[in-house]
Chain A
């Protein structure tokens, strides 16, 4: 089937090429385009019939003319995978970007990735300590989880992602994570920041990077995360690694998706994004998890910047429905100079309950976390009230809660970029110490037995 070259292009529209009458071409088949000047481009079949084939061109359609030759390669997109990928930097289409040799394939893996049978999954229940109190105490991360960072432009999400990548570990084991990093449309500056940090900490040797920068073709972004996840799946489920996948920025990915949708003249959904965006995102996010009988795991940290800080925008909204929680970065906290500026109130980890408690973190973890939330939420609410009526109108309980909100932000949240707090002493004991600023009788979320055991002043020894 290879070898035949067609010159039957009828239309070129945005990133799409339409051509007539070919041999039977498979849906999803990979295509090679030879321009008149000899340049090669790659594409994929999006729609196929006896009369017409639509090809999406990864490198953009610039300089394609009707004389361009098109060759169908007879197979769907596959990525050569091997453990040699660790320590390498590849481009958005999987080719070496670091000047090194091509990856010698141990296996050719289909990049679409089949769905994991829900019955074959294993429940994630191993706590990952990130050393960041806000995350460890309130939105605990579990191995095999997909927990996105909802951020916005101008906020330090990259620092947080790197800090997590650096510090993430299991409480009672030295298993290290392999980091698969996937950049989609980020600037060269951001990219350098990531690479330098990974180099500085030596983490680069334990990482595999797939990089599509802002000036690389937008359509290529649609395959970059699929390549990264295919590599991650190979490392996790064939080679027993624990893989941490960080991808940034999902917003750029979705923009590319919208671009293709518009070029195909599809009926758009909300804000012009295609109606199938939920399914498409799910095909990425759902490639996280643990599988029965396999040692490795895939934990995902997608980063997305919310356009206009709007959490109801389709991108964060649809992501939130698929991912197992979210870590929300707050501009308000950032402007107060607090790092990491994590707003714990809208943040959530759905798998937290499975990963914490006696034998995993500590028996009082859940109660402490609930109490922190409740007290901080009420304290913040009271700030609004105080702005109107002044502190004099508050009763004793409200005053204490109001004060606690400040303590929580300035002491519990705030930590330095290389401060690695342990869960038990660094985070939970510290939480108790801070909670002791509130009268015990107002701490209704705490079981009496934990108060007796852990409260710094009410402890019954």
Chain B
């Protein structure tokens, strides 16, 4: 594509109008004397409307606009992991090197380190016939993750030459008979989903170590979840817990229009966190995208696409990828801001009419798929939503809920009581259990699904009883109902509450979750017996071993001790009968 030059006609915040060029939609252009990066978002007669990814103050009409011929793309290849990017895949540490601690303008940086040599091990050999998505070699990208170098989509043929050795990402590692050369780096336009063969039904849970999520409202690998909640209800902490503990192979974390200090916290903390499975730093499997709220809005709009394209790329290698977007509301607001500068006819609450279709397109890029190479990979998407005033009747929440299969509803009331995670167990839901239950039966315990049903039924009964208690006080209830309240309280305080900042409590594996839930039901069972045998409720619920059992979850080695603690509790409950 030959370069074509135009000039700026108008500037209004992040939206610049140019004349004298006829670019394609979504083509990247360079704007002004400083060469600010922008993307064409509307063609209007002679005029091309451009959203600019950098601050535009000081730019004048008459300055040049230059076409690049490319659409907004990311560089994919070894070197993505452990990186932190801005919304348009510029590595933030590189930006710091070139422009200091404040982000200035007109600086370009490659997403991948083009100089660094990687140890490429060919797995295909000359004469092999390969097609799009086939793995031709591997690179040990980080200690725990093997990067699989694939034939780029749209390329296929018979290998003429391939060799192992030290290469950088732009050097050719493989030549095909037809002369096509394959490098480790591919480029892919962010707004186009990467191809796959077909989508599978999600049948394996994404284990997160978060009791309320795993046990009551599980997410499947390749599934989608939405976390709406007012500010201060713990969206970000929940997202970070998922980024830390979920059993995905790769994690892509998008901080979209959120706080700078929050991203810094993630950056400081992640390199020190150990993966419970491998014992290596969690950072080894993580890519981060940080476009904080005061960075340019257009780049915020692009950041979710940059993130999901990277996620799809790892999916194509056959990995399970989890992508967290915090927060999709900020992304939607970026769309709204750009749309209003374009003077488009607004839909609900000023959001553009295409809001819900954009949301749907984004979440549809999740899924468990058969890759082009025939492997099995998945992208799970977990999107935080920040509804104004916590009211989820607003367009972004509603647009999200229509698409996602899991709804983790955060509740300001619970947060105020310091019940964390503040996920409301009464209105949250997951549509995955029917397709996951077989997995639980096979891998955890055969009665896992039944146990879940029992626990959620108890919580439901409690909610009904609480309404009566509000009117008459708990002492007016019959003893068996008072016991139910006590059991439900135990579910809430011992099981659903989980301290993200506590070394031990922060993560509970599925087997222990099952044992804990079972212990609660044993307490109910034994107490019923004791009450029938004449024990006083007061004595039964206050047996010291129960407190020990509940506090025990903060101690390491709990999984070995819990059975013993349970036994002691059962014994003590039985003894309450003899006292009377």
- Chain A residues near B (Cβ < 8 Å): 24-29, 46-50, 76, 112-124, 144-145, 237, 266-270, 275-276, 278-279, 282-283, 285-289, 291-294, 311-314, 317-318, 320-322, 324-326, 345-346, 348, 350-351, 353-354, 366, 370, 373-374, 377-378, 385, 388-389, 393-395, 398, 441, 444-445, 447-448
Contacts and interface: CB of A to CB of B under 8 A. Distances in A.
Q: Indicate the member of B62, B255, B340 with the most A CB atoms within 10 Å.
A: B340
Interface string B340-359: 10010010011000000000
Given A47-B11, A115-B292, A279-B294, 17 more contacts: A47-B10, A48-B61, A112-B55, A114-B104, A118-B92, A118-B267, A123-B265, A124-B261, A276-B333, A276-B337, A278-B333, A283-B294, A292-B101, A395-B474, A444-B493, A444-B547, A447-B554
B293 A282 contact: yes
A317 B95 contact: no
B388 A314 contact: yes
Contact of B349 (A269, A286, A313, A373): A269
Contacts of A441: 542, 547
A373 B475 contact: no
Contacts of A50: 9-10, 61-62
Contacts of B55: 112, 114
Contacts of B337: 275-276, 279
Given A27-B11, A388-B470, A119 B60 contact: no
Contacts of B393: none
B58 A27 contact: yes
A312 B92 CA distance: 35
A143 to B, nearest CB: 11
A118 B292 contact: yes
Contact of A26 (B58, B262, B350, B472): B58
A448 B555 CA distance: 12
B59 A49 contact: no
Contact of A123 (B261, B474, B542): B261
B2 interface: no
A53 to B, nearest CB: 9
A284 to B, nearest CB: 8
A370 B417 CA distance: 9
Contacts of B63: 24
Nearest to A446: B551
B438 to A, nearest CB: 37
Contact of A378 (B56, B340, B349, B417): B417
29 contacts: A27-B11, A28-B58, A47-B12, A49-B17, A49-B61, A114-B55, A115-B102, A116-B103, A116-B260, A117-B96, A118-B255, A119-B96, A276-B297, A279-B337, A289-B264, A311-B389, A312-B388, A318-B388, A320-B231, A321-B231, A324-B259, A326-B232, A353-B501, A373-B417, A377-B418, A388-B470, A393-B475, A444-B547, A444-B550
A27 B267 contact: no
A147 to B, nearest CB: 11
B61 A115 contact: no
Interface in B78-114: 84, 92-93, 95-96, 100-104
A5 to B, nearest CB: 18
B386 interface: yes
Contact of B473 (A26, A278, A322, A393): A393
B580 interface: no
Contacts, number: 223
Contacts of B562: none
B290 interface: yes
A321 B229 CA distance: 11
B103 A122 contact: no
A76 B57 contact: yes
B307 to A, nearest CB: 15
Interface string B355-396: 000000000000000000000000000000010111100000
A280 B400 CA distance: 25
B145 interface: no
Given A50-B61, A286-B292, A117 B261 contact: no
A5 B456 CA distance: 74
B336 interface: yes
B294 A118 contact: no
B418 A373 contact: yes
B330 interface: yes
A276 to B, nearest CB: 5
B345 to A, nearest CB: 9
A366 B501 contact: yes
A313 B388 CA distance: 8
B416 interface: yes
Contact of A270 (B93, B96, B349, B417): B349
Interface in B48-77: 55-63
A188 to B, nearest CB: 32
Contacts of B62: 24, 50
Which of A26, A285, A293, A311 has most chain B Cβ within 10 Å?
A26
A270 B267 contact: no
A48 B297 contact: no
Interface string B486-506: 000000010000000100000
Given A370-B418, A377-B417, A393-B475, A117 B95 contact: yes
Contacts of A353: 501
A122 B472 CA distance: 53
Contacts of A394: 473, 475
B262 to A, nearest CB: 8
B388 A122 contact: no
A123 B266 CA distance: 9
Contacts of B418: 370, 373-374, 377, 445
B389 A317 contact: yes
B297 A279 contact: yes
Nearest to B264: A121
A287 to B, nearest CB: 8
Contacts of A326: 232
B394 to A, nearest CB: 9
B101 A25 contact: no
Contacts of A121: 260-261, 263-264
Contact of A112 (B57, B340, B390): B57
A278 B340 contact: no
Contacts of A366: 501
Nearest to A28: B57
A398 B551 CA distance: 21
Interface string B285-306: 0000010111101000000000
A282 B294 contact: yes
A344 B10 CA distance: 49
B476 interface: yes
A118 B263 contact: yes
B426 interface: no
Interface in B279-330: 290, 292-295, 297, 330
Given A26-B57, A395-B475, A278 B102 contact: no
A247 B469 CA distance: 46
Contact of A117 (B9, B61, B103, B268): B103
Given A144-B261, A444-B550, A312 B391 contact: yes
Contacts of B1: none
Interface in B236-277: 255, 257, 259-265, 267-268
B350 A118 contact: no
Contacts of B9: 49-50
Nearest to A310: B389
A57 to B, nearest CB: 18
Nearest to A349: B232
A46 B12 CA distance: 7
Contact of B60 (A24, A115, A144, A294): A24
A145 to B, nearest CB: 7
Q: Which of B57, B260, B547, B554 is most buried by chain A, counting CB atoms within 10 A of its CB?
A: B260
A279 B338 CA distance: 12
Given A26-B59, A118-B84, A444-B550, A389 B471 contact: yes
Contact of B333 (A279, A287, A293): A279
A24 B61 contact: yes
